Amino acid sequence: MASQKVVANGSSTKPHSQSNPLPRWLRTNNVYLFVPNLIGYARIVLASISLVYMPIHPLTCTILYGVSCILDALDGYAARKFSQSTKFGAVLDMVTDRCTTSCLLMFLSAAYPEHPGLKILFQFLLSLDLASHYMHMYAMMEKGAGSHKSVDREQSKILNLYYTNKTVLFTFCAANELHFVSLYLLSFPSPSAARDAILPFIKGMAYVTFPICFGKQIINFVQMARAAETLVNIDNESRQLAHQLNGEKKE
């Protein structure tokens, strides 16, 4: 019996280990080096280089900027596939999105000098994008949510659909960027016959993506309004609790 126990519990039997889909050289416990975050760093590099070409070479800028945006979808997939979803990665992803879009809107605000009203519009859209996401992130953090995407239907049906349905989220984000990129390309004079040939396509992309881009701005406004409401409710609850505690101390 003793010998049987040794065989059954001894070191000769190998414990079952869960397979890791990552190659050995990518396996690490360092969050900074997780695959989704490495993709995030690549996004930053590509977006930064695109800014160098933004005023001088629209095609190169568009390619670099577009690849950076495509990687935005890839890092989320990698996080789910390799079980490497982290708060650092989520914030890195959102901050990169906000910075790249802001830089493009800053360029657009000066790209149409013949239409001074567009300058104010693009500045407003930039401010709305930053304010809505910052307020939303802060409100969700104060609420104790695990992620800024954890929006329940009671808080907002629109935001719940936007953040929980990957198809809706991708469609609005992609169309939003495509609309701004098309406006960026249209801001340059036509230097070649090749560009003249694709000019109708660029204009068509601008028209097709406009309604979804407009919807994205409505979502940003709703997000900011709901975040403000959440923060006010938290303030009211804190003040009521403090008032009750002060009342109990006086008694």
Which CATH number does 26-244 carry? 1.20.120
Q: Contact 69/177 with Cβ under 8 angstroms?
A: yes
CB atoms within 10 A of CB 188: 14
pLDDT band with cut points at 50, 70 and 90 for residue 14: very low
Q: How much is the pLDDT for 154?
A: 86
Report which of residues 1 and 211 the model is more confident about.
Answer: 211
Q: Residue 17: is its pLDDT beyond 70?
A: no
Radius of gyration of the chain (CA): 25
Residues 6+ apart with CB under 8 A from 3: none
For residue 183, the 8-state DSSP code is H
What whole-number distance in Å separates Cα of residue 47 and Cα of residue 69?
9
What whole-number distance in Å separates Cα of residue 246 and Cα of residue 249?
5
> For the chain, what percent of residues have pLDDT higher than 70?
89
What whole-number distance in Å separates Cα of residue 146 and Cα of residue 167?
22
* Total-model pTM: 0.85
What whole-number distance in Å separates Cα of residue 220 and Cα of residue 183?
20
**Summary mean pLDDT of the chain:** 88
Of 97, 152, 196, 235, catalytic: 97
CB atoms within 10 A of CB 146: 10
pLDDT band with cut points at 50, 70 and 90 for residue 245: confident
Query: What's the pLDDT tens digit per position in 108-167?
Result: 999 999 999 999 999 999 999 999 999 999 999 998 887 888 898 888 999 999 999 999
Q: Residue 24: is its pLDDT beyond 80?
A: no
DSSP string, 191-247: -SHHHHHHHHHHHHHHHHHHHHHHHHHHHHHHHHHHHHHHHHHHHHHHHHHHHHHHH
Torsion of Cα atoms, 47 then 49 then 55 then 59, to 10°: -80
Q: How much is the pLDDT for 121?
A: 97
Q: Which long-range contacts (CB under 8 A, 24 or more apart) does 84-89 make?
A: 84/34, 84/35, 84/36, 84/37, 85/36, 86/31, 86/34, 86/36, 86/37, 87/147, 88/31, 88/32, 88/37, 89/31, 89/34, 89/36, 89/37, 89/40
Domain range annotation of the chain: 26-244
Query: What's the pLDDT tens digit per position in 26-51?
Result: 788 899 999 999 999 999 999 999 99
Q: How much is the pLDDT for 242?
A: 87
Q: Is 97 designated active site?
A: yes
What whole-number distance in Å separates Cα of residue 111 and Cα of residue 116?
10
Q: How much is the pLDDT for 115?
A: 92
